[in-house]
Amino acid sequence: MGAAVDIGPVTLEAIANDATRRYDLRAVFGNDRPIELELGIGKGRFLIQNATDRQDVNFVGVEWASRYYRLVAERAAKRGLPNVRLIRDDAAHVVRDTIADDTIAVLHVYFPDPWPKSRHLKRRLIQPPFARQAARVLHDGGLVKLGTDHPDYAQQMEEVFLADADFEPVFRAVGPEAPVGVTNWETKFRAQGRTIHKFEFRRKPRR
Ligand SMILES: C[S@@+](CC[C@H](N)C(=O)[O-])C[C@H]1O[C@@H](n2cnc3c(N)ncnc32)[C@H](O)[C@@H]1O
């Protein structure tokens, strides 16, 4: 782990470090508002903007890189956003080991690293075991929202969630049809003229 960041209540490193328990994040926020989880927040534009605009929703951001984690933690603390918490850790580990069942309303994953080299493909976040974990943590009717500029990873994202019996596709857009998002990488990729792929999958009701 990186050095502790003195951002007070915004950060949740202690939670992410404890792989032996899963947490109901409602207790962390102290209210019953819906919780949205963003994995790989980068500079946090999506998280901060949404937390500012939708104060009736709680947001948890996960970021591996200390530099970005610290930047976003400082921004959230400066704005005094009561509805933001951050975890500096590996996204797959956080979802698998620290998030309680049936506690998340929306899972956001925007422009995750595509790991294009064939020997690195196994490092991609969106793989069948991830979809299983997403189904576990999401509420019935909860959404996974995905974006990428990488055609091969886009295909993998779609195939993984279409193949998971607990999800149904609800939105798919490619290129000019894809709604414009606010993340740094999306802005950068659009400026480069890259084709953006967006998907949403809904968690089917548990029986
Ligand atoms: C390409 S950037 C996209 C950032 C942001 N979502 C955006 O669209 O601007 C990928 C981000 O995921 C973070 N990341 C990569 N692997 C990760 C992991 N295993 N766990 C958590 N964050 C990770 C990187 O540090 C980086 O900030």
Domain of 89, CATH number, reads 3.40.50.150
Tell which of 81, 100, 119 closes a domain.
100
Tell which of 35, 66, 100 closes a domain.
100
Residue 65 alpha carbon, nearest atom of ligand 1 = 25
Distance 93 CA to ligand 1 centre (A): 14
Output the CA–CA distances (angstroms, integers) from residue 42 to 106, 113, 204, in the order listed. 18, 11, 29
Is the pLDDT at 73 greater than 80, yes or no?
Answer: yes
Q: Whose CA is nearest to atom 19 of ligand 1?
A: 90
Tens-place pLDDT, residues 145-178: 999 999 999 999 999 999 999 999 999 999 999 9
> Domain check: are 147 and 202 in the same one?
yes
Domain that holds residue 66: 1-100
> Domain check: are 4 and 66 in the same one?
yes
pLDDT band per the 50, 70, 90 thresholds, residue 10: low
Tell which of 58, 79, 100 closes a domain.
100
Q: Whose CA is nearest to atom 12 of ligand 1?
A: 40
pLDDT of residue 6: 39
> Domain check: are 195 and 129 in the same one?
yes
Which active-site residues does the annotation give? 113
> Domain check: are 43 and 82 in the same one?
yes
pTM confidence score:
0.93
> Domain check: are 1 and 66 in the same one?
yes
Q: How many domains does the chain have?
A: 2
Tens-place pLDDT, residues 53-65: 999 999 999 999 9
4 φ, ψ to 5°? -65, 140
Cα dihedral sign, 180-188-40-4: negative
